[in-house]
A and B are shown apart, each in its own frame.
Chain A
Amino acid sequence: MTATATTARFTAFGSSGTAGSLVRHRTGLLLAAAVALLVLGTFLVGGGAWPGDLTVDLTGPLGGVSDWIIDNRDTHPLFLYFFGHISNGVVLSVRGVYLVLLAAGWAGVTAAAGLIAWRVAGIGLALSAVVAFLFCGLLGMWVPTMQTLALMVVAVLVSVVVGALLGLAAGLSDRVFRVLRPVLDTMQVMPAFAYLLPVVLVFGIGVPAAVLATVVYAAPPMARLTALGLRDADPGVMEAAASLGATGRQRLLTARLPLARKELLLGLNQTIMMALSMAVIASVIGAGGLGDRVYQALASVDVGAALAAGIPIVLLAVVLDRVTGAAGDGIGSAPRTGTARPGWAVAAAGTVIVAVVARLAAGTAWPDGRTVAIAEPVNRAVGWMTGHLYSGVPVIGGTADWAGRFTTWVLDPVRDGLQWLPWWAVLLLIAVLAMLIGTWRTTVTAVLAMAAIGVLGVWDPALDTLSQVLAGVAVTLVAGFAVGIASSRSERVERLLRPVLDVFQTMPQFVYLIPVVALFGVGRAPAVAAAVIYALPAVVRITTQGLNGVDPVAMESSRSLGATGVQQLLKVQLPLARPALLLAVNQGVVLVLAVVVIGGLVGGGALGYAAVFGLAQGDLATGLVAGAAIVLLGLMLDRVTQPTRRHSGKGA
């Protein structure tokens, strides 16, 4: 999410010097073998799409499962005594937090936010927190903001507990670590939409399903970073603790956990970000709050209103990110234990006083008249933009023409090419790519994932989706590397870019759904555009970070040898930042794929549409198979583009 998050992630994966030299040796050999196989295979096996005999039709069994759940949900003990209590527990906790927030009133909540930010991160962030909360009220979004906040508090708490427990187990036991890692890896590439349907089926539409889907999505980074923090504990300190005769538990509590504090806080930060990004997606299954407002505004094709509900989400995200980020940075600096308690007491007292005074003076509800209407000017701006750019722009043509050309000249050939290739040639291609970039393990995973897509019977739509992802990734990388290089060369560009990237990364994807259609028409082109908008910030950030992180000694020595700026960039900076650039590629792929479902909402068709269709029609067979295929596609793409061993949170 922020600079802090990305930096820590860089420390989280090792470099692979030996793998690099190995790769170079193998390349020629592998390519020759692949070509030979391809030619031979065409004669021997023949071509065509995935063979029908090798598919499994899950419509029957999945339909049966879905019917069973619906018929037994109100009576079966599994639901009455287990899921029912989980569901009630979630509802009660969210309700509790919501009522507290309502009772504190807008003044109390704003004061609490400001004072907590002040204690954790200083006066500057405290002011931004206060301004952010007041702005949510000014936009007329106070109540939805509180609903979302209540849901977030519960979801983040559960995610942190679940994630920390998993991370603790993985951090202490090598066996658990080995078992858990591939699970977390898989969860990381799984697009959120894929889990909505099964969760809804069990818990029904509404807050419990939304909270649980959010936990599934947001707990992995916490687990990962907790495990990482515990495993990376300084051996010297551990040795010292052991020599002092500390027991295992004492060592954990007094040495390991405190040493891992930075990772734990980073995990919290990542978990909050992930949970917030889920807030809107969860509105599709009735989470209420801000996400629902965005979703409802969309129904009346009202970008302005969607933006008015989207801005509070961005504000919440930025404030929470900065505050938790600052808490992480503060560790290890001046010890605050002496002043901490009175400070917190002041904060608590201040909150209570403000809340009570405001309540007596004006009540707890946000004053009705005090709102600014941003919807109308925004809609006018969007209308102007789409009215003037859609077509008939002299010389360069309108955006609709570009979209048409992009579809005809890029998307169509790639899709038709992939679908024309014999199925075994596609598998072979993937195997070769994975061998070149990764290890035999990643190769096996990638090929099996792709084969599983064929077995599920969605080979053609999956290749259609794949073609859109490839096109989206290509555009993202070209633009992302260019902007990333620019911002690494100029600090001013980086400063200007930071808030823009923040907004694009946290703005709910639903908000730009209408603008992309208005600019590019319905079809696969707007789907690719939405994906690029979503994935670009992460790629830009990682590129900038990677280029800036290049060893200054290498830069200096190249400069003293008389290298020009361009030479320096091409010969020193880019090669040295290779791991970062490869990570950018990988993240670009994963993030583009995460927007496939959004693409389904603007005419992207293929798997994205099927996933949305399943959810809208309660059709488990269609939805789950499409979701699984998206996950498998993600797994394959992640493995194929994963050059180094990497443990990172989802998103960036």
Chain B
Amino acid sequence: MARPRTPLVALVSATALIAVAGCGAADMTQQSSPFANARGARTVTLSVQSWVGAQANVAVAQYLLEHELGYRVDTVQIDEVPAWDALSQGRVDAILEDWGHPDQEARYVSDKKTISPGGELGVTGHIGWFVPTYFAKEHPDVTDWRNLNKYADRFRTAESGGKGQLLDGSPSYVTNDKALVQNLGLDYQVVFSGSEAAQITQIKQFAKEKKPFLSYWYKPQWLFAKVPMTEVRLPAYEDGCDADAKKVACAYPRTPLKKYLNARFAHDSGKAARFLKNFSWGTEDQNKVALMIADQKLSPQDAAKKWVDENEQEWRAWIPR
């Protein structure tokens, strides 16, 4: 019984040897997708994050890259932190909407220099706590955090135990909500819906019944056009008040959203990279496209085409000569 194993062992070790010594070093910073550049086309790979705003950026960039500059565009959906990682390895070429990741920025942009900044997207992001406007109109004082405990009963669900429910979203979001609830002495339970899709679906169900709810949410976001929501004032944000994650007791900052490119791509790829650096639009534009995708269920390409057809002078400026 032992005999047949000998050639097997030999084969395995030979393969391992060839793999280790036979060829030269593999370049781990140049790992493109196997689906890229098929049929002789130049390909740009863009990362899409799970929210629709990010899809809108990518859809418009993709449309223009394909129709104005003659590239083929691949998109890959990944969360932000893994996207930084993928960007540094060249698996994707660009992130178009980053909500601020100082650790990653220090590691990849300053230290390793595998990622280079691509400028601002032109959209400012803001995270906050929101209640539906129909509820805020009935109870105007709910929009101050000091009065939230008074309404805890109204926000209770089966999931929140005896407390009020603060609906939180995807695990990829930046959030201090657990600390906030504790440090502000609120009688609330943070319920993580686990994905943006689940959170939106739940908010829509609440809104359909005109039920009160309190949710972590962010702007710009297309859902505001379908379910009007009013922000709850938290203690004002000051620089550094969120430095210690355990002691946070203030609102979220306003973040100008940024673009990042793979350093080698930014350096080599000429027009595509220059175009992506020029790409910069406003909240209103992004929401228009996002709403077409998420609510009117247009495909991202169709939504992008519609926007591109209507806003020529805006995007003309992005096309490199």
Contacts and interface: CB of A to CB of B under 8 A. Distances in A.
Nearest to A386: B205
Nearest to A205: B86
Interface stretch (B34-42, B62-70, B118-126): B34-42
A252 B4 contact: yes
Interface size bucket, B side? 35 or more
A283 interface: yes
A279 interface: no
Nearest to B12: A165
A249 B31 contact: no
B10 interface: no
A292 interface: yes
A609 interface: yes
A172 B38 contact: no
Contacts of A525: 158
B20 to A, nearest CB: 5
Nearest to A140: B299
A455 interface: no
A304 interface: yes
B201 A518 contact: yes
- Prevailing SS type, chain A contact patch: helix
B3 A521 contact: no
Nearest to B161: A412
A568 to B, nearest CB: 42
Contact of A514 (B81, B201, B293): B201
A296 B48 contact: yes
Nearest to A251: B4
Contact of B158 (A408, A514, A518): A408
Nearest to B28: A74
Contacts of B157: 404, 521, 523
A91 B51 CA distance: 29
Nearest to B2: A173
A195 interface: no
A205 B85 contact: yes
B209 A517 contact: no
Interface in A181-212: 200, 204-208
Contact of B193 (A390, A403, A602): A602
B163 interface: no
A149 to B, nearest CB: 12
Contacts of B89: 73-74, 204-206
Contacts of B50: 298-299
Interface string B76-94: 1111111101100101100
Contact of B78 (A168, A286, A379): A286
Contacts of B149: none
A513 B155 CA distance: 24
Interface in B133-178: 157-159, 167, 170-172
B158 A84 contact: no
B267 interface: no
A94 B86 contact: no
A95 B31 contact: no
B202 A522 contact: yes
Contacts of A200: 82, 85
B114 to A, nearest CB: 7
Given A301-B201, A612-B171, A248 B35 contact: no
A296 B75 contact: yes
Nearest to B172: A616
A58 interface: no
Interface string A502-527: 00000000000110011001111110
Contacts of B23: 85
A165 B78 CA distance: 34
Given A165-B8, A601-B195, A85 B86 contact: no
Contacts of B171: 600, 609, 612-613, 615-617
A74 B76 CA distance: 22
Contacts of B205: 386, 390, 400, 518, 521
Given A74-B112, A604-B194, A403 B76 contact: no
**A91, A98, A168 interface centre (most CB from chain B within 10 Å):** A91
A104 to B, nearest CB: 13
Interface of A: 70, 73-74, 77, 79-88, 90-92, 94-95, 98-99, 102, 147, 150, 165, 168-169, 172-174, 200, 204-208, 248-249, 252, 283-286, 288, 292, 295-296, 298-302, 304-305, 375-376, 379, 386-387, 390-391, 400, 403-405, 407-408, 513-514, 517-518, 521-526, 599-605, 608-609, 612-613, 615-618
A-B residue pairs, 8 tightest by C-beta: A84-B26, A95-B34, A616-B172, A523-B159, A613-B171, A205-B86, A80-B25, A404-B158
Interface of B: 1-5, 8, 19-21, 23, 25-29, 31-35, 38-39, 48, 50-52, 55, 74-83, 85-86, 89, 91-92, 107, 112, 114, 157-159, 167, 170-172, 191-202, 205, 208-209, 293-294, 297, 299
10 contacts: A84-B28, A95-B35, A102-B39, A296-B75, A296-B77, A298-B50, A386-B205, A604-B194, A609-B171, A609-B192
